[in-house]
Amino acid sequence: MQRVRIWQGVGGAIVATALMPALLATSAPAFQATNRGTSPRTKTAQSPRTDGVNSPLTTSSSVAQVLERHPARLGTSFVPVSRARRIQVPKPVRPNVVMPRRVTAADSFVNVSLLTPIPVPRAGVSASLFSRSRILIPAIGLDRPVYEGIAQNVINAGVAHWPGTAMPGGLGNVVLAGHRSTYQRPFHDIANVHPGDQIIFETTNGWRYVYRIDRQFVVANTAMWIKDQHAGHTVTIFTCHPIGSSRERLVTVGTLVRSEPLA
């Protein structure tokens, strides 16, 4: 009996020695938690650490806390989230700058924007005669007053300025009409001009505008586009063509090259 008990004790020791590592591994968490004064249940229920950049982050508030505590880890120009919310950057204000327009003595008579030519008047409509300028074409010896209007009685009187087109020296296209072989026939010799010849206007407010003739061409008598306005400073003169017929129009075009006060 005693021999049986001895062998049971030896067997128990052998079993205990074999099972000891497993028992230690199983009880290690509890043993470590007990040494820190915290139970295993409390350890697993704790939230992840939020006091380091490498710690798990679960909420936006923890992100802000980490960034505020460790801004240097993300660069010297970093602004913490909670502080960035309090920063108000003023919006840039565009100054209300109005560029002054260059004003000269001639501006009271010069257009500042493009106008719209008036329609051709009905037959039989007449207008009073008045003039604001004279036209001179030295190459053909022309020196005539320029009347305002394109009613038939105005054109019969001499050189007519189409209302709604640019005034001499103004922005746009100065459009003039006149007969070639009847009435005052101011443009009888207009076919004799050449590119480079001058068309000069002298206005009643004391200014001279010199245009250089660029080209001359013939169009149908229905080509009303010759009166159109455009950016620039040009003059367009049209008259009947050929002499003694109104089937076509002879058109002379020039560009403003000089403005000067009359002496």
Interatomic CA distance for residues 68 and 74, integer angstroms: 11
Residue 91 DSSP one-character state: P
Of the ranges 3-7, 29-33, 66-70, 165-169, which is most confident?
165-169
221 and 242 Cβ atoms separated by less than 8 Å: no
Residue 111 DSSP one-character state: -
pLDDT tens, residue by residue, 50-81:
444 444 444 444 544 544 555 444 444 444 44
pLDDT tens, residue by residue, 111-168:
456 889 999 888 888 899 999 999 999 999 999 999 999 999 999 999 999 999 999 9
Tell whether omega for the bond before 48 is within 30 degrees of 0, i.e. cis. no
What sign does the CA torsion over 17, 22, 24, 30 have? Answer: negative
Compare 39 and 166 and report the one with higher pLDDT.
166
> Is residue 250 helix, strand or coil?
strand
How many angstroms separate the most distant Cα atoms in the chain?
163
User: What's the mean per-residue pLDDT of the chain?
Assistant: 75
36: amino acid identity, one letter: R
Q: Is the pTM of this model over 0.85?
A: no
